[in-house]
Chains A and B, each alone.
Chain A
């Protein structure tokens, strides 16, 4: 791909050099064929400069109109027509310049077919070069556009995932607050505080930003506190965390949807009291986090896909780490476990 366009100045110099070279070659050849140096040089200069003009015209045509890869016949016709035009122009100019020189005019007449062939080749070469150049350029621009678009889509997707506020969580929490406001206003106030802190944390965070596990756990704690006000009679949590794991990095807000899923699954799939387990360990170059919840294997509704929470986590991991295998799910007996592996890049 044309990563950098050749600068305009360089292109002009190269083009001139190309034609000077051919002027030089043609002069030598014509001199060999018996023309004097002066006549040979004049002939060569005029022929090649005229060709150079044709080349510039061709290049201009392709700059504004690219017939596409398929249209070969059109390009060929273009080259043949231009070559004819060129030969007539050349004959006219040279005949004018050497009006008196009958020998030369005879020579010119004889050499026209050969000149025509050379011109045709040259013009065909320039046509193809111009076409190729603009074709590649277009391709390059297309790729750039596509990359740009992909980047935008990715950013949009990330922010959409971030804005997946859980409306039911919010409304049910507000309902709890409403209930507490009558009987226990102090607790209502506390819950409003927790809910606000939690929501602020959700809105503020940049999804691509990496945070320490300890920060993520603190945010998670707010969420768990609120859920315990709602389901305290049934819900308990058990968090086990390595000292070393606490400073490891992970994308922000990654755990909360998994824990939310575990709570929902656990609370709605059984009628007993449930314990949600969260374990984090630093293992080699990565951080391993396990989130487990009980479920009832005998009546569990058939799972179609991952469900939104798990899907969004998987998608995010894929966007950030370009890997599909960082979230693993396992159902064993009556426990559902989600295992996260977060590579530590630094």
Chain B
């Protein structure tokens, strides 16, 4: 038995998937979710192998929901928007179905996954996917994070700075910090270049948070933020910062 979950904010859109899935008795729909919050919970609970996922949903969209998962099931996107196709395939998407889709098209997508399911994706391919992940990324206005079962949406202007932390980054806001499994390069790409600057291999700072730049030890500088945090600047970062601030 293969476990699957349907996530779409329109009940009728889910019902057509259920109907089409009747042709695949080996796939069992464990749960149906109206939004990403329910989705995250249901996925934790049922550990499905396959997701049918809409993109535009309340609060957090399908991509943001995927970022919150501890593991990524196989995903078939179902959406009326064709502009996310590239992004979808850059995640682990198996297929991208444009609504309304036919039973044949749907079956083809599921069939493709079923037949390829036994052989796992080669490591090289996954690596490749992760590298291209942010090349097409749009500028982001918010970051979705999860602490335990608590999902939080942070508008980027509330981010003071971001610090590298092994495979994660720590996102510092006024009164908390959050972990997220993304790279510094990713954030350097998706945060607005006029508001944020990578001042160090391990630090990205929101420019409006900087109150002062001070010399630190020999030939080094640090930036003081409104929150009181002290951010080390690399030599190159210091030069970039001076240029951006026009000093």
Contacts and interface: CB of A to CB of B under 8 A. Distances in A.
B15 A183 contact: yes
A269 B10 contact: no
B19 A175 contact: no
A271 interface: yes
Given A180-B12, A271-B34, A301 B99 contact: no
A211 interface: no
A172 interface: yes
A148 to B, nearest CB: 37
A233 interface: yes
18 contacts: A168-B81, A171-B99, A171-B100, A172-B80, A175-B10, A175-B16, A175-B99, A175-B100, A180-B12, A183-B19, A230-B12, A234-B9, A267-B9, A267-B58, A268-B58, A269-B58, A270-B59, A302-B155
A269 B57 CA distance: 9
B116 to A, nearest CB: 26
Contacts of B59: 268-271, 296, 299
Interface residues of B, number: 26
Nearest to B142: A301
Given A271-B34, A299-B153, A172 B13 contact: yes
Contacts of B99: 171-172, 174-175
Interface string B76-113: 00001100000000000000001111000000000000
A179 interface: yes
A108 interface: no
Contacts of A230: 10, 12
Interface string A158-197: 0000000001100110111111101100000000000000
A24 interface: no
B80 A168 contact: yes
Given A175-B12, A176-B10, A271-B35, A182 B19 contact: yes
Interface size on A, as a range, is 20 to 34
B58 A301 contact: no
Contacts of B19: 179, 182-183
Nearest to B153: A299
Nearest to A169: B80
Nearest to A180: B12
Interface in B144-168: 153, 155, 157
A234 B35 CA distance: 12
Contacts of A168: 56, 80-81
Chain A, interface SS category:
helix
A268 B58 CA distance: 4
10 closest A-B pairs by beta carbon, nearest first, are: A171-B80, A179-B16, A175-B99, A175-B100, A179-B12, A178-B100, A176-B12, A299-B153, A174-B100, A271-B58
Nearest to A171: B80
A234 B37 CA distance: 16
A168 B79 CA distance: 9
A60 B141 CA distance: 66
Given A175-B16, A269-B58, 12 more contacts: A171-B100, A172-B80, A172-B99, A175-B100, A176-B13, A177-B100, A179-B16, A182-B16, A270-B58, A271-B37, A296-B59, A299-B155
A71 B119 CA distance: 83
A233 B13 contact: no
A246 interface: no
A302 B141 CA distance: 7
A175 B13 CA distance: 7
B55 to A, nearest CB: 10
A180 B16 CA distance: 8
A229 interface: yes
A229 B15 CA distance: 13
A169 B179 CA distance: 36
A231 interface: yes
Given A171-B80, A180-B12, A270-B59, A301 B141 contact: yes
Interface in B13-38: 13, 15-16, 19, 34-35, 37
